[in-house]
Structure 1
């Protein structure tokens, strides 16, 4: 047990060191870990490390894919579903068949079924390996397509692999393979959706971070196991559950829950991703030992691996090139309908504001249906803007082709081959060579390819977009009525507008007063009769609450009236806090609605949500001090 503990501690230290070294050297951490693992495996006297494929397929990959899905914007995934499907399904099937045919010609003694199995093993890109792409600074649409491909193509590859293994013992038709794949995906999506919804429902009723985080960690396995039991793809089920959590989490979970879960998952992702590549390198000795007992030689294995790697790149180029041409033409055709969509949206908006009957294609619809119809139009317009602002041209296509790296899923899938598979050690060794060479060659040169191709890059949050979000949030704040107790308190501070006051002025004063109350309560000198601590002259400079509206504070004389007694101050602070929390809830809702419609980029929405979360956490912490 002591030895195991030492190994675990050493591995964690190595992972942290690799991350630091990667930042300083510019080399991706997965590549450093792969080389380090291989170097350790070659040390004389080092015992062989054999990793059970179930460890990767059942323990490591489900949480990794789930976490990647949680971090993926659902709107971007939906917009790129067509290219993702082509790369994750069609490309894998074509690659498995073509590589299997060529390998069978090179090594006829293995059999066509085993060769197709090898083709299926080396065909899928690895979702973990695409972490290298994210650090290259390419556009978020390229990252979304590559991420989505890595999340889905595992299922298609494993289904083809299972069918090829079955064909070694009996005849299996192409129709049966297609049916198996469809059933595996459908079952996985249904199970993942149900588990994701159920877990979000349960977590939304838990307000303690520790049990909530534990349930979050259990979610990918709760989706994986029943899907596998029902002959579905457990990995796709984990992805589906993650997408559900990504979409519903911000609405159902508290900021404390989401921040705690995010921190835990970030740390776990680092450890698991690093463990995958470190284990790949450590397995080198065991794979070499098995290879020595095979009748085929080293040169043949290296030759087959080289041909397979070249074919994966050639086939990827042959599929990506026409795919991007089709995507570009489709975007241009759809952009012609933008003016029509804008007119339709304006027509529905005018009808809703004037209470007129709304008729669409000769059918009169009620206001609720009209609102949903306008939402769909808004989403369609946002999709068109997304396609125009983030095109997939030849430069982006070059990066997408070169970024299709193989990784841990290739080696794990190879080790699931039955022990009686002809020349099993040869096939596993070839898969290891393909995965390792792909990571080392493509991963180490991806930065150079990005610099040469010069694709569209990620430019962060657009200031104009931030201004539009602030305007939207300010409008949302104006829709929250000022409660009577707040109005009464404002009248005592010198705001004499009363019930007939202009609503936005009352709200600005209410939020300003909320800040003043908490600033006064934090300053103990107020309790002793000393002057209260000064707050900012304009909301938004230092305090969290002021970012909500952004208006001037009440005067010093008015503030002195409110701070007449500790009891009055405490009561005023609680009223102000409750009102400010209502503003945050309203702003978060309108922001998430806009995000569902695709009006803003995920980066801008995420930044605004983080600000609202920080505001709410600050208010809740101050509220606890009142108890």
Structure 2
């Protein structure tokens, strides 16, 4: 037990050191950990490290994919669902078929079914490996597509793998493969959505940050287990639960809950993601030993791995190139309708300003509620068009997307799920390891150079114009918050007049101004009214501070709701929305902390 504890502590120090070294050397931490693990594994006398596939598939990958989904903006995922679907399903199927056919020609003794299994194993790109892409500074749309691909393609790859393994012992039809895939995705969608909504509902009623974080950590496993039991994809279920949490969490969870959960998940992600690559390197000794008993030999294994890696890039290029041409053509075709959409939005605005709030549309009278929903849909369509125009996927971005499709932990974990009686299993596992390791080392270490040479659209900072628009939105949001009776009384006392005698807009402006004052100053120091009278009573100062604090919290809630509504329609970039939400959260936490000091 002491030895295990020492190994865990040493691993944590190695992970921290790799992060620091990555910042100084510019080499991604996963690559450093992979090389370190391989170097340790090759030390003479080093005991073998064999990782159970279930450890990766059930313990490590569900929380990693869930966390990545939580951090993915739902609006960006929705906008890129078409390219994500093509890369996650069609590309995996084509890659598995092509690689399986070629490997069968190179090593016919393995059998076509086992070769197809190998093709399915090395076909999916790894969501964990795409963490390297984020550090390269490419545009957020490219990162979204690659992240989405890595989150979803595990399901298609594992279904093809299971079908190929079944075909080793018996015949499996193409219809069964398609049926199994559709069932796996459908079950995952339903289970992931139900678990995601259930856990968000439960967490919204648990206001203790520690307990909420525990529930958050349990969510990916709660989604994974029933989905797998019902023959669905547990990994996709964890992703769906994460997307649900990403969409609903900011609306129902407190800032304390979200910040506590975010910090905890950040540490968990770092440890698990780093452990994956470190374990990949440490397994090298066991893989070498297995290969020694294999009849094919190292030369053929290296040749097959090299050909498979080249084929992944060739097939990826053959799919990505026409995909981006189609995406660009569709964006140009849709952009022609922008003028009509803007005109329709103006008509909606006029209808909302009319007396009855109704609107005539294609011979039908829309009620005020339908007019509001119609306007929201139009605004979302316009925002989507602007997104496609501002973040194009052209040839330069295509080069990065092709080179960034790295293989990683899921490839090695999937290879180890092969039954022990699979023909030439050790050979297949070795080839999978070589493909994953070579992909990470070759593509991961040169991705920065490829980005520099291709010069794609890069991730930009928050646009000052966008920040100004958000400030305007937040300013408008507080105008709709009614002035509470306590605020009316407080303002009347400070201005020596009854609240009802003031004009509504003056009263609203005065209430907002008072609510945003420094809370501690109102509580701790006498405040002088415009008439020159001091509010000297300590009890009154405490009461004034409490009233203004409560009103300020109501303003923050209104601003957050307006900001999230605009985010759902895609009006602002996720970075700008996140920065504004962080500011609102900090303000709310400050007010709540100061409010507790009054008790």
TM-score by length of structure 2 reads 0.98
**Are residues 227 and 356 of structure 1, via their aligned partners in 2, closer, same or farther at CA, if it must alter by over 3 Å?**
closer
Given the alignment of the two structures, is residue 289 of structure 1 paired with residue 289 of structure 2, yes or no?
yes
Q: Residues of 2 paired with 1:500 and 1:57: CA distance?
A: 68
Q: Which residue of 2 aligns with 1:178?
A: 178
* Distance in 1 separating the partners of 2:347 and 2:283: 64
Partner-residue secondary structure (3-state), 1:295:
coil
Q: Is the alpha carbon distance of 1:201 and 1:561 closer, same or farther for their aligned partners in structure 2, counting shifts above 3 Å? A: farther
Q: Which residue of 1 aligns with 2:87?
A: 87
CA distance in 1, matches of 2:497, 2:522: 25
2:368 aligned with 1:367 = yes
Shift of residue 495, structure 1, vs aligned partner: 7.0
Distance 1:186 1:339, change over 3 A: same
Q: What is residue 588 of structure 2 aligned with on the other side? A: 616
**Retained in 2: the 8 A contact 1:492–1:561?**
no
1:496 deviates by: 5.0
Structure 1 residue 390 and structure 2 residue 362: aligned? no
Task: Provide the aligned C-alpha RMSD in A.
Answer: 1.4
Unpaired runs of at least 5, structure 1:
527-531, 533-554
SS in 2 for 1:626: coil
**In 2 relative to 1, CA 562–225 (structure 1 residues): closer, same or farther, beyond 3 Å?**
farther
SS at match of 2:495: coil
Could you tell me whether the CA contact under 8 Å between 2:516 and 2:552 is conserved in 1?
A: no
Instruction: Name the structure 2 match of 1:381.
Output: 382
Cα distance in 1 for residues equivalent to 2:423 and 2:516: 74
**Counterpart in the other structure of 2:159:** 159
CA contact (8 A) 1:188 1:232 kept: yes
- 1:517·1:573 contact (CA, 8 Å) conserved in 2? no
Are 2:432 and 1:470 equivalent residues in the alignment? no
Q: 1:314 maps to what in 2?
A: 314
Q: Distance in 2 between matches of 1:567 and 1:117?
A: 76
Match of 1:547 in 2: none
1:96-151 Cα shifts (integer Å, max 9, x gaps)? 00000000000000000000000000000000000000010000000000000000
Structure 1 contact 57–412 (Cα < 8 Å) conserved: yes
Q: Match of 1:458?
A: 459
- Indicate the residue corresponding to 1:594 in structure 2: 566
Deviation string, structure 1 residues 20-76 (Cα, Å, up to 9, x no partner): 000000000000000000000011111000000000000000000000000000000
Asked whether the equivalents of residues 492 and 558 of structure 1 are also in contact (C-alpha less than 8 Å), the reply is: no
Q: 1:500 to 1:391 in 2, by over 3 A?
A: farther
| Corresponding residue for residue 66 of structure 1 | 66
* Partners of 1:497 and 1:136 in 2: CA distance: 61
C-alpha change, 1:237 and 1:585, in structure 2 (3 Å) is same
For residue 7 of structure 1, what is the aligned residue in structure 2?
7
Question: Which position in structure 1 is the counterpart of 2:538?
Answer: 566
Which sections of structure 2, spanning at least 5 residues, go unmatched?
none
Aligned to 2:148: 148
- Map residues 22-421 of structure 1 onto 2, 5 A cutoff: 22-354=22-354, 355=356, 357-421=358-422
TM-superposed CA distance for 1:363, in Å, is 1.6
CA distance in 2, matches of 1:138, 1:308: 27
Between stretches 138-147 and 557-566, larger displacement belongs to 557-566
* Deviation of 1:515 (Å): 4.9
Q: For residues 503-558 of structure 1, give each alpha carbon's deviation from its aligned partner in whole angstroms, at most 9, with x where no partner exists.
A: 444334334434557223664xx4xxxxx6xxxxxxxxxxxxxxxxxxxxxx8454
Aligned counterparts of 2:521 and 2:533: Cα–Cα separation in 1: 13
- Per-residue CA deviation, residues 402-458 of structure 1 (Å, 9 max, x unaligned), is 000000000000000000011000000000000000000000000000000000011
Q: SS of 1:493's equivalent?
A: helix
Compared CA separation, residues 521 and 499, structure 1 to 2 (3 A): closer
- Judge conservation of contact 2:528–2:535 (CA < 8 Å) in 1: no
Contact 1:481–1:503 under 8 Å retained in 2: no
Shift of 1:213: 0.4
Change (3 A) 1:44 1:462: same
Partner of 1:431: 432
* Distance in 1 between residues matched to 2:389 and 2:480, nearest whole Å: 33
Cα deviation digits, residues 550-603 of structure 1 (max 9, x gap): xxxxx8454974531110011111110111011001100010000111100000
User: Is the 1:414–1:427 Cα contact (8 Å) retained in structure 2?
Assistant: yes
Kindly provide the CA deviation profile for residues 209-235 of structure 1, in whole angstroms up to 9, marking residues without a partner as x: 111000000000000000000000000
Match of 2:490 in 1: 489
Distance change >3 Å, CA 490–CA 517, structure 1 → 2: farther
Mark the CA change 1:46 to 1:502 in structure 2 (over 3 Å): closer, same or farther: farther
Q: For the residues of structure 2 that align with 1:516 and 1:375, how far apart are their CA atoms?
A: 34
CA displacement 1:464-498 (0-9 Å, x = unmatched): 00000000110001111112221221122237583
Q: Is the 8 A contact 2:528 2:534 kept in 1?
A: no
Where does residue 448 of structure 2 map in the other structure?
447
Tell me, in whole angstroms, the C-alpha distance in 1 between the residues paired with 2:379 and 2:214: 38
- Secondary structure at the aligned position of 2:360 is classed as strand
- 1:582 alignment counterpart: 554
SS of the residue corresponding to residue 193 of structure 1 reads: helix
Secondary structure of 1:364's aligned partner: strand
CA contact (8 A) 1:517 1:572 kept: no
Aligned partners of 1:92 and 1:156 also within 8 Å: yes
